[in-house]
Amino acid sequence: MVVAITRMPIKPWAPWVIGAYLLVGLLVFLVHRPGLGGVGRVLRTVYPIVILPSLYGSLDLLNGFDIPAWDQVIQGWEVALFGGQVSRTWWQSAPSAFWSTVFHAVYFVYYFVVPFPVIYFLLRREPEKARTAVTIIVATFLACYVCFLIIPVAGPYYEFPRPTGAFVDNWAARLVYATLAQGSSYGAAFPSSHVAATLAATIGTWLGSRRMGLVLVIPTLLLAIGVVYCQMHYAVDALAGLLIPVPIAMLVLRDGTAA
């Protein structure tokens, strides 16, 4: 909301964003009232996950293409750490229709992995575990969103010519590009919220069920690799995304925030 207020002179729709945030605040008040029934308690657990897409959408309104991006800085870090622009050159030097399909498919699976621990633990009637997972996931997302607003980075998806030809001539790539065309926010590349949130969901699942958490490790690792190979994120974005959820999970466990 603070960012929306400061950007009101250059963003005519900033007041609408502020109004939406106020409505979110009202929702928070309503679901935390005492005396909620069973449905109300479930809504109190899941509503942070439900409102995240709207918060993500507001980033595109507040950033847009007229806010200076930090891509040159991130690309400098990329060269310093990895010796070049990995996301631009990797798929070109080692194109693979098979791995393109796998990595694009895993990229889309993200939309199922993030809510998985919440649904899984609620179905098992373990609301405390679900709340722990929600706290870690939402805190991770919000940390990413703050970065997006302070240091917006467009990412290789916007900065470099996009992959073409046989590399993207598969059902998974077409599905991903169609999804991004509907809901991608400019300036939301660093850190990779896809990587960060997937790891957060995996950690949240692992804390409640070691077996199911280990199952999610595979798509988490594939996603961290795939966002770079498919030129969705800089390698620095993926690395930063892996670093964010761990300290957040440690803080949640230490402070008992989820309880």
* Residue 66 reports pLDDT greater than 70: no
* Residue 165 reports pLDDT greater than 80: yes
Exposed / middle / buried, residue 175 (Cβ in 10 Å: 0-12, 13-18, 19+): middle
- Number of domains present in the structure of the chain: 1
What are 171's two structure tokens? 């059902």
Cβ proximity of 156 and 234 under 8 Å:
yes
Per residue in 102-155, pLDDT tens?
999 999 999 999 999 999 999 999 989 999 999 999 999 989 988 998 899 999
Asked if residue 170 belongs to a domain, the reply is yes
Per the DSSP assignment, residues forming a β-bridge with 188 are 153
Query: Which residue has 């993926």 as its token pair?
Result: 238
Asked if residue 197 belongs to a domain, the reply is yes
pLDDT band at 258 (very low <50, low <70, confident <90, very high): very low
**pTM (2 d.p.):** 0.82
Asked if residue 120 belongs to a domain, the reply is yes
Asked if residue 200 belongs to a domain, the reply is yes
In angstroms and rounded to an integer, the radius of gyration of the C-alpha atoms of the chain is 19
Question: Which letter does DSSP use for residue 84 in this model?
Answer: S
Distance CA 148, CA 16 (A): 19
How does the average pLDDT of the chain come out, rounded? 85
Asked if residue 18 belongs to a domain, the reply is no
Exposed / middle / buried, residue 32 (Cβ in 10 Å: 0-12, 13-18, 19+): exposed
Question: Which letter does DSSP use for residue 78 in this model?
Answer: H
Number of neighbouring beta carbons within 10 Å of residue 26: 10
Per residue in 180-229, pLDDT tens?
887 677 888 999 999 999 999 999 999 999 999 999 999 999 999 999 99
Asked if residue 14 belongs to a domain, the reply is no
Range of the domain at 93: 69-255
Distance CA 228, CA 204 (A): 24
Asked if residue 251 belongs to a domain, the reply is yes
Number of neighbouring beta carbons within 10 Å of residue 115: 17
Asked if residue 143 belongs to a domain, the reply is yes
